[in-house]
Amino acid sequence: AKSIRLVNANLEKANLSHARFSHAQLDRANLQQAQLIGTQLDGSHLYDANLEQANLSQANLNRANLEQANLTEANLEDSNLTEAVLSYANLEGANLQRANLSKAKLNNANLVDVNFDAADLTGADLSNADINGATFHNAILDYTLWINRKRCRPGSVGQCK
């Protein structure tokens, strides 16, 4: 099947919950306040997309490219962001509770006030990210590359050891 191509599309406040957008081209799309609950976005391209206040809870974003995307105050609770690229993205105030971020790239991202409680950040890259006010209660930080480029030890939970 050919992938969906919605580059620069205006999908503000659209309800796309449980839709199949695997490998979709959504670069620079406006998805502000969109409902994307349980949406399949694995392998999709969301470079520089606007997902401000979007609801992506339980969404599958495995290997998605969200580089430079705006995810301010987005809800990513229980989402799958395994190996996703979020480099230079703005996630200020986002909810990533129980999200799977293993091997995700969050380098140079704005993670101010992000809720990472109970999230899995195994092997994730947080180098040079801004984590002021972010919470990591019960977050799994095994082998996570911390903001200072220090590798967290296995068994690190809640804080990088």
Instruction: Report d(CA 116, CA 123) in Å as an integer.
Output: 15
The rounded distance, in Å, linking the Cα atoms of 134 and 7 is 31
C-alpha R_g of the chain: 15
- CA-CA distance, 156 to 57, in Å (whole number)? 25
Q: Which two tokens stand for residue 154?
A: 């296995």
pLDDT score, position 3: 80
Indicate whether 59 pLDDT > 60.
yes
**pLDDT per residue over 75-86, tens digit each?**
999 999 999 999
Please count the other Cβ atoms lying within 10 Å of the Cβ belonging to residue 153.
12
Q: What mean pLDDT comes out for the span 48-54?
A: 98
Q: What is the pTM of this model?
A: 0.96
- Please report which confidence band the pLDDT of residue 144 belongs to, taking 50, 70 and 90 as the band edges: very high
Closest Cα partner for 44 from 15, 91, 92, 9? Answer: 9
The rounded mean pLDDT for the chain is 97
Q: Exposed/middle/buried for 126, CB within 10 Å: 0-12, 13-18, 19+? A: buried
Give the mean pLDDT of 103-123: 98
| pLDDT number for residue 2 | 66
